[in-house]
Structure 1
């Protein structure tokens, strides 16, 4: 069973973290979200406190979808709203394409790169992050006490890494190192997103203007590929925007998970 947390009240909203991260990535926005939604956070297979990613003869996509469906069943969730960051955003879009959810929101969702060269850049970026994490891990308890050090070490993922407290910084660092096998397996099967999403499932895409992992041009590609979606720019935010722009992310998630005319939703305010 995947490790998860569940709190708040209202329409259920499942939040999916990115590759080599963990459910705590959402902590900066969960307090505000829980005032309007029942929030479900979980660790993907091979990440955080969840069991290893075991694919056997299945594709990674099938494994992740089967785990998601099993989580929905375990928590008695019938087509909940879903949102995700990076890989989590891709999972959210895939869930929408498969009709498993009522709405999907992606924060810099994976899958909109141009071709092999761009995908190689993304893989190299995470390889560098993995190597850096392993190098600094012995000194991490000391470095974590410095807001400046946290900002520098997290600079490729967010513009305000100093806002991640020392405890969560250390947990994220350990998770990144431990998630290496899952990361390698997921990247091995990386392909662009090309699924069709039914028009009656609302989709929202938000992209940080300072994303250094999935560069902002990919947000434009997502706009062209999903013209029926709501598209939002998160000004000044990096690839993991939850700490960079708490209110902007909360607004995007509430907007994306609202029924009816999303532009008139009262509970975003």
Structure 2
């Protein structure tokens, strides 16, 4: 069940109160799950149920996405600010320094949390920040087209499309390798989440020219990439490995940009191993 957490974040104009939507389940070491731009915490639903068997799983809606309201005036959607927001959320939730797994934008945020000492381990699934300038322009243009489509399509049309595998492919084929596996109601919900995300534009603008260029020595890092990712190409994983030489680089066979629905068991295994499951076993 979705809940909320509120806390204060420093700004140039004084403290601002931020509220995030979140879901908690399971027991064990805390594991924070972060979704990508335009998505919502339900993107992790196929995987979070598996991970909750031996983790305290905390999935959040990023600021201005899903059920989380936009950031208050005085706070920007840049990487530093949103990372500070997530650190504040972890403190307010009483989980301290959790394991963090993120997809796309969430993967970049997970890496930045690791860089700032806010994560015990990081698992990044097709993270942003390892693109060339041309690849960034391509990804940004695709995301804008997806947003425009979600905004213009009437809800009855979205619902009609979601009833068939072909329609679900038309709506979500850019991010899923196997869109037909996504439940119709989930496709409708994530299309509406993309349509109504007040943080979308500012977040996309903040990503222009942004790259992740720091090693994370001493921190367990896994970078995993779907070999059918059509948004951020798999070759970007090789660049990530060059930037973070100690990272474990994993290919997610048969998976697209948002792999949690394409192969939940595989993604759960990668996240569990990345957050210490392999060592404990």
Question: Same fold per TM (> 0.5)?
Answer: yes
Q: 1:209 to 1:136 in 2, by over 3 A?
A: same
Q: Give 1:195's aligned residue.
A: 214
- Provide, for residues 203-245 of structure 1, a one-character-per-residue CA deviation record: whole Å limited to 9, x for no partner: 0000000101101110111111111011100011100000111
C-alpha distance in structure 2 between counterparts of 1:241 and 1:63, whole Å: 27
CA RMSD of aligned residues (A): 1.5
C-alpha distance in structure 2 between counterparts of 1:250 and 1:37, whole Å: 11
The alignment's TM-score, normalised by the length of structure 1, stands at 0.92
1:22 aligns with 2:46: no
- Give the conservation status (yes or no) of the 8 Å contact 2:175–2:229: yes
Partner SS state of residue 6, structure 1: strand
Question: Across the two proteins, how many residue pairs are aligned to each other?
Answer: 260
The alignment's TM-score, normalised by the length of structure 2, stands at 0.88
Q: Give 1:7's aligned residue.
A: 25
Alignment of 1:80-119 (within 5 A): 80-115=98-133, 117-119=134-136
- Give the conservation status (yes or no) of the 8 Å contact 1:94–1:195: no
1:168 aligns with 2:186: yes
- Give the conservation status (yes or no) of the 8 Å contact 1:123–1:187: yes
1:74 aligns with 2:92: yes
- Give the conservation status (yes or no) of the 8 Å contact 2:169–2:180: yes
How far the C-alpha of 1:103 sits from its partner, in A, is 0.3
C-alpha distance in structure 2 between counterparts of 1:58 and 1:164, whole Å: 33
How far the C-alpha of 1:182 sits from its partner, in A, is 1.6
Structure 2 unpaired stretches of 5+? 1-18
After the TM superposition, which of the residue ranges 104-113 and 137-146 deviates more from structure 2?
137-146
How far the C-alpha of 1:135 sits from its partner, in A, is 3.1
Q: 1:55 to 1:232 in 2, by over 3 A?
A: farther
Q: 1:90 to 1:155 in 2, by over 3 A?
A: same
Over 4 Å off, 4+ runs: none
Structure 1 unpaired stretches of 5+? none
C-alpha distance in structure 2 between counterparts of 1:183 and 1:207, whole Å: 23
- Provide, for residues 70-101 of structure 1, a one-character-per-residue CA deviation record: whole Å limited to 9, x for no partner: 21111101211000000000000000000011
